[in-house]
Structure 1
Amino acid sequence: MKDLDLNFVRSQFYAFDAGNPLCQKAFFENAGGSFPCKFVVDKLTKFYETTKVQPYGHFNGSIEAGEEMDKSIVKLAKLLRIPTNNLHVGPSTSQNTYVLANALRLSKTKKNVIIVSNQDHESNTGVWRNLASQGFEIREWGVRSNGSLYLDDLKNLIDSAVCMIAFPHVSNIIGQVNPVKEICAFAKEVGAFTCVDGVSYAPHGIPQINDFNPDIYLFSSYKTFGPHLGVMYVSDELALELESQCHYFNKEYPNKRFTPAGPDHAQVSALGGIYDYYEALSNHHLNRELSLDSSINEVNGLIAKQEKKTLRPLLDFLKTKRDVRLLGSYETEDRVPTVAIVTKKSNVALAKQLNELDISVGVGDFYAVRLLEALGVDINEGVTRLSFVHYTSGSDVEKLISGLDRYL
């Protein structure tokens, strides 16, 4: 397999242009939000400059605005390999799960058990847990002492009353990739729906959703080099079970059933830039005659190879630090470059010291309080999170390691 051309990759982001203040930093808070690619920024800018009117009207500008929005939805659905009718776009993943939980609350399901994990971001666990006050029974699929989820533990929670299993594709703390395809297949066997939080997975390889066969798949486009939106797939089967959340006169439109508010027109129009970026990666690294449909898995492979290469030195370094606790595995297999550590010093103090060296890291609980509690981490202190993606350079990682070595 070829190597990712990092110079080409970074040329696709304004953040890395000479003179941009962001370019001066080694950026390791990508799990909180990635840089947007130029395709997205250009589309967003053009929309505001030339078509910022109410879309889907019958005059120039309005017609073009609607067309750009429609093109983006088609492109994104194509990138994810799903029908456009199953694609829903809301303001954020947290808002999307809130709407879905309300739709389930109002549904006529006779099953009343929801299984949630304590490995997840709160957006895909708290809203389901809140349904306990509405007569649902909540069962927790708990992590073991290493922070991992195990399918055998899930099987012990299953019976015929389970209607939904909510879990993460990847933890935003330990970076573990869960066996989504296997979990979803098991859920189908026992007659349960699945809600997969893909927010921490999608930045490391565009999910081919039909390969996993979930009923709900969620991710945030602002973490996949795009605008600040929440992207949601809902299967036809589940959509028919859930109560519509839109205006009554819109419920016959599949894309509007679970988006009660109108979309952010400009940002929706910019979503297609994510597709354009991946297409550019494909054209540059692979055969230009290949469609992105046939090459996306290869592009994802190039990205994974690059990330593993840059992750390895950091994990090896952390292994040498006796006073540093790594949450998650020291191996690069089945994990993404989201690295959370606990040290003997203040996380905030460490972040400020690294900032003086032009290194940006994240500090806090990252809305994964339940997981940190399960792992015995002081919630008031939280963790230091070092997260990167495929555009992160080896020299940036070297700079991070040097800074950590200086202060730890």
Structure 2
Amino acid sequence: MDLDIDFVRAQFPAFSEPSLEGQAFFENAGGSYTCAPVIDRLTRFYHSRKVQPYGPYDASRLGGEEMDEAHSRLAAMMGVDTDELSFGPSTTANTYVLAQAFRQWMQPGEAIVVTNQDHEANSGPWRRLAQEGIEIREWKINPETGMLDPEDLPDLLDETVRLVCFPHCSNVVGQVNPVVEITAMAHAAGAFVCVDGVSYAPHGLPNVGLMGPDIYLFSAYKTYGPHQGIMVMRRALGMQLPNQAHFFNEKALYKRFTPAGPDHAQVAACAGMADYFDALAGHHGITGDAAARADGVHDLMRGHETQLLQPVLDYLKAKNSVRLLGPDRAEARAPTVAVDARQPAAPLAAALAQRGIMAGGGDFYAVRALQGMRVDADQGVLRLSFVHYTSADEVQRLIAALEEIL
């Protein structure tokens, strides 16, 4: 089944916005366009629900019901219980809070495995725990390909490892890591697993319940929603870790790792993400329960993106003036493509902007990954990232613009 790109783009006001006309958006890894159902729900909340939620009067009751709807629908799509999903101000903040919980829970001499493929948000907070006597072990990428090899992980695992942290997909390498395989290896060694899904979730919400990690983190503003961090915390781990919220909320799993009150309006608006995925499922004839519909939409998105991605990879791989980072086969990666042009990347992004291509140049908070691939982090990389609403015509425009500037 092919994705109906015209139907998709009709769900995003950005594609009818005059100020964006004629520009192709290739910096989606930094934040996606917002779908209309999210904007509609956010507008409605601020117009008629902007009161303290969960009270007895209608505006309050309805606001609370919409927040609960976002929890229950997104959790069902991801194959987890409703209270195993929580919202926070950002994925970076959520990870920081988690690190504090593990700091209190772990003993000096116990270990955490991290990678140098990550965005710093899922690396730095864990690495800082070395100051508390916790051993940090680094699972290193291949310096030539930037890829993680699961066969390297067993050498880092023993009875002292309590947590293994890795990205579902790197925000510069693009490699899709085998979450199920890695999780099984970590669990077999007695360790819990934390997966940074920020760079993968925009390409289809994963079924975390089936995949098995104990923690899965991603950002709503990169999955067509508002600026919220979304965290899945499985109950078996979440009720062991020390409570980070008010003492009287410690029995509520979805509140334990949210020290501050949530942004009511943005949480409620996240139900619009579920509206959008369900609209895609309905339009394309995908049926079943919430998880089955989400899986079908995931496959639609990935199929469309893979088809569009391969010509970009082929072009860059054949270009001697740049180094393509990560896999050169579309099936093995997300459409987040970084290239080392061996010159400052920011001016290249500016040159693309002059040609109607919105892209980015820099280190993208993946300094360790760039250093691990012997890339000059100060010069940065040119990053070209797209999602399922990108069209084949836009990809051809991108390639033509790259041919002019490289």
TM-score class, shorter-chain normalisation, is over 0.9
The aligned residue for residue 353 of structure 2 is 355
Distance in 1 between residues matched to 2:389 and 2:36, nearest whole Å: 13
Please give the residue correspondences for 1:3-402 in structure 2 after superposition, counting only pairs within 5 Å. Answer: 3-17=2-16, 19-107=17-105, 112-145=110-143, 146-287=145-286, 290-402=288-400
Alpha-carbon separation, structure 1, partners of 2:95 and 2:386: 26
Q: Aligned partners of 2:238, 2:344: CA distance in 1, in Å?
A: 46
- Is this contact kept in 2: 1:109–1:241, CA < 8 A? no
Shift in Å, 1:395: 0.6
Give, in angstroms, the shift of residue 345 of structure 1: 3.8
Aligned CA RMSD, in angstroms, stands at 1.3
1:213–1:291 distance in 2 versus 1, CA, 3 Å:
closer
In structure 2, what is the Cα distance between the partners aligned to 1:73 and 1:93? 16
Contact 2:112–2:163 (CA under 8 A) maintained in structure 1: yes
Which aligned segments of 4 or more residues in structure 1 are displaced greater than 3 angstroms? 108-111, 289-293
State whether residues 108 and 133 of structure 2, in contact with CA within 8 Å, keep that contact through their aligned partners in structure 1: no
Q: Look up the equivalent residue of 1:261 and give its one-letter code.
A: A
Q: TM-score, normalised by structure 1?
A: 0.97
- Deviation digits for residues 244-267 of structure 1 (CA, Å, limit 9, x no counterpart): 000111112111100000000000
| TM-score of the aligned structures, taking structure 2 as reference length | 0.97
SS at match of 1:140: strand
State the shift of 1:110 in Å.
7.7
Kept in 2, the 8 Å contact 1:170–1:177? The answer is yes
Q: Distance in 1 between matches of 2:290 and 2:250?
A: 33
Query: Offset at 1:317?
Result: 1.1
Q: How far is the alpha carbon of 1:113 from its aligned partner? A: 0.5
Identity value in percent? 51
Q: How many residues align?
A: 405
SS of aligned partner of 1:106 = helix
1-structure distance, mates of 2:278, 2:113: 38
- 8 Å CA contact retained: 1:117, 1:166: yes
Worse-superposed segment, 232-241 or 253-262: 232-241
Structure 2: give runs of 5+ residues left out of the alignment: none
